[in-house]
Amino acid sequence: MFSFHKSPRLFAATCCGILLASVPVVGSAEQAGHYGYGESATDEQIAAWDIDIRPDGMGLPEGSGSVDEGMAVYETHCASCHGSFGEGMGRYPKLAGGEGSLDQDRPEKTVGSYWPYASTLWDYIHRAMPFFAPQSLSDDQVYALTAYVLNLNYIVDGDFVANRETLPKVEMPNQDGFIWDDPRPVVNNERCMKDCKDEVTVSDSAEGKNLTPSTTGPLDEGITE
């Protein structure tokens, strides 16, 4: 059997060859691979998904809409499902009413009784409405619809104009309804500084002795510990 100990030069040459052969492999691992599918997202594609509006109004676009303008948009795009006055048609949800019903057996969760922030109402209308053509409304139309729905619930006056400045300032009736103030104290015990625990006495162990009989029936006869 051949031994490298008898041929030092051959051993050194073999090691160098292995080292040189490994260099391209390491280099190729550091390069970005091409997988043959997909492409990098463009700024326009990212912007199409980046449409969320925060409760404090961050993300609201330029534009505006009044209650009167919202009435016309509502009759065209919303009334067929939600009713002319937000009462809901068939099984479609109500948008108005329901004040004081959240603690009842059958609460009515509407914009006026349940929704916590006016800015996120704009977000939802813009993102998901109208049901048959979501994200088809302009920013001004969404502002107008938001103003009209808020007016249906007597949250804003008839001359209210919704925009990125006025909408976050609207205080919704249930704004604090999603924050639970736990009345329970953190602890119920008095502070102990000395001799706080009674001495622990071990009365048994978990070895299984005297817990289960060694036999449980005729088939186990003859079985001992």
**Cβ density class 167-183: b for 16+ within 10 Å, e for less:** bbebebbbeeeeeeeee
Condensed to tens digits (0 to 9), the pLDDT of residues 145-185 reads 999 999 999 999 999 999 999 999 999 999 999 888 777 77
User: Could you tell me the pLDDT band of residue 133, with boundaries at 50, 70 and 90?
Assistant: very high
Query: What is the DSSP code string of 95-153?
Result: -S--TT-TTSSS----TTTT--BHHHHHHHHHHH-STTSTT-S-HHHHHHHHHHHHHHT
Q: Please answer whether residues 82 and 93 qualify as being in contact, where contact means their C-beta atoms are separated by less than 8 angstroms.
A: yes
Residue 47, both tokens = 């912007």
Going from the N-terminus, what domains does the chain have, and what CATH number goes with each? 70-169 (1.10.760.10)
Residue 8 has pLDDT above 50, yes or no: yes
Measured between alpha carbons, how far is 109 from 84 in angstroms, rounded to an integer?
18
More confident residue, 204 or 61: 61
pLDDT-based confidence at residue 26 (cuts at 50, 70, 90): very low
Q: How confident is the model at residue 201 (pLDDT cuts 50, 70, 90)?
A: confident
Looking at per-residue confidence, does 10 or 69 come out higher?
69
Q: Count other Cβ atoms within 10 Å, centred on residue 108.
A: 18
